[in-house]
Each structure stands twice: as C-alpha cells, then as structure tokens.
C-alpha cells in the first residue's frame, strides 16, 4: 500500500504531476490543493493512494490525509471511480466538499465532469459518514435543517412536481444562484426565478 510520496516535480499539466521518486518518474493524478503547491524542480511530499483495476494502475496525490480519506470515501459511491473522485477534489477543496455534503447541497458539487445525478448520490450516500468522520476534523458544524440545502431541495422538488426533470431543475437552480451569488433567497423567490428561467428555455 502506498501512503505517501516524496520527490522532485518534473512536470505539471492540467491533471497530472510527474514526480521523480528515487529515480522513477511517477505520474500522479493530483487534487487542486496539491496542484497549487507543486513547483517544477522543487521537492514535494504528498499523501498518496495507488488504485488497481481492470484498466490498470492509477496513482493519486493529495495535500494531506484529510483529502486522501475523503477521496477514499467518495470512491465508494456507486459510479464514482478514482479519476472522477479526484476531479471533484481538483475543483473543490475538502472543506467545501464536506460542507456541501453535510448541507445536502448537490448543486455545489456539480463541477465539470460531475453531473447533478452523481452529485445527489454523493450527498445521499455519504452524508451520515461525513458527519461521523469529517465534520469535527474540518472544524465544521452540521448545517441546521432549514438552511440553504433544504431550500434548494424544496425548490428542486417543486420543479420536478411541475414536470421538469431533476437535471433541468438542478441546472436552473445553479444558474440562479450563480447569477446573484450574494443574494439570500427564500424558497418561493428561488422557485419562481428558476421556473422563469426554465419557461424561457
């Protein structure tokens, strides 16, 4: 089992850090925070995980043990392989992922390459595990019922009840929040705004 890596960074591209570890050039699929700390020609130490599958072996790198542990939990979610799980950690840091799961806010997890259905499955399958294992580690409180997560869930349920697909509802909701990112929405306001957006389409 590979737990960590230490070596000199040879190159960095959009997804992979190549490291010289004891004379071996290893390609590491890296999290966003590890990518941000890596510099070509400099020495780097990272938490790591080697995954083996029918497709071969893949090496994943993380800035700390919290990211590594969260990654391993995400890979247990149905349809979430290693490369899709590391893509989530490449776009969002561990704290944001944990916060979104605790709030059951799938919209915040719908990053490029990870659609709303998978994001909802992550929230559904990992909420209780994350609450037990990571909330205290990340210094977070479990969001109270009635927060943003429940508002979004209510709006999505309302739109689905009106005949829209869950995917359409999630995308409309995400667009509304992105357009007015600082606004505090009521459920009714958010429902009407998302509904208007869907009707215009």
For the segment 89-105, what is each residue's pLDDT rounded down to a tens digit? Answer: 998 888 888 888 888 88
pLDDT of residue 24: 94
Range(s) within the chain of domains with CATH label 1.10.150.20: 66-133
pLDDT of residue 99: 83
Q: Report in angstroms the alpha-carbon separations of 169 from 20, 26, 79, 166, 182.
A: 46, 42, 22, 5, 20
pLDDT of residue 82: 93
- Please give the CATH superfamily to which domain 66-133 belongs: 5' to 3' exonuclease, C-terminal subdomain (1.10.150.20)
* Architecture of the domain made up of 148-200: Orthogonal Bundle (1.10)
Range(s) within the chain of domains with CATH label 1.10.8: 148-200
Residues shown for the chain? 201
Range(s) within the chain of domains with CATH label 2.40.50.140: 4-62
- The domain 4-62 having CATH identifier 2.40.50.140: the answer here is yes
pLDDT of residue 139: 47
Retrieve residue 80's tokens.
Answer: 């979430």
Q: What is the pTM of this model?
A: 0.68
Segments in the chain below pLDDT 70: 135-153, 166-167, 181, 201
């Amino acid at each position: 089992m590979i737990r960590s890596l230490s070596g000199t960074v040879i190159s960095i591209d959009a997804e992979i850090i190549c490291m010289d570890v004891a004379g071996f050039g290893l390609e590491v699929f890296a999290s966003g925070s590890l990518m941000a700390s890596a510099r070509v020609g400099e020495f780097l130490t990272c938490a790591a995980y080697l995954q083996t599958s029918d497709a071969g072996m893949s090496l994943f790198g993380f800035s700390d043990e919290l990211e590594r542990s969260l990654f391993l939990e995400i890979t247990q979610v149905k349809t979430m392989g290693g490369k899709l799980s590391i893509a989530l950690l490449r776009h969002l840091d561990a704290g944001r992922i944990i916060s979104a799961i605790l709030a059951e806010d799938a919209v915040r997890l719908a990053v490029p390459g990870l659609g709303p259905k998978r994001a909802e499955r992550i929230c559904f399958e990992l909420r209780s595990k994350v609450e037990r294992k990571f909330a205290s580690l990340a210094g977070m409180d479990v969001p109270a019922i009635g927060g943003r997560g429940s508002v979004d869930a209510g709006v999505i349920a309302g739109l689905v009840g009106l005949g829209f697909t869950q995917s359409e509802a999630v995308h409309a909701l995400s667009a509304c929040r992105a357009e007015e990112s600082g606004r505090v929405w009521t459920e009714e306001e958010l429902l009407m705004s998302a509904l208007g957006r869907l009707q215009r389409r």
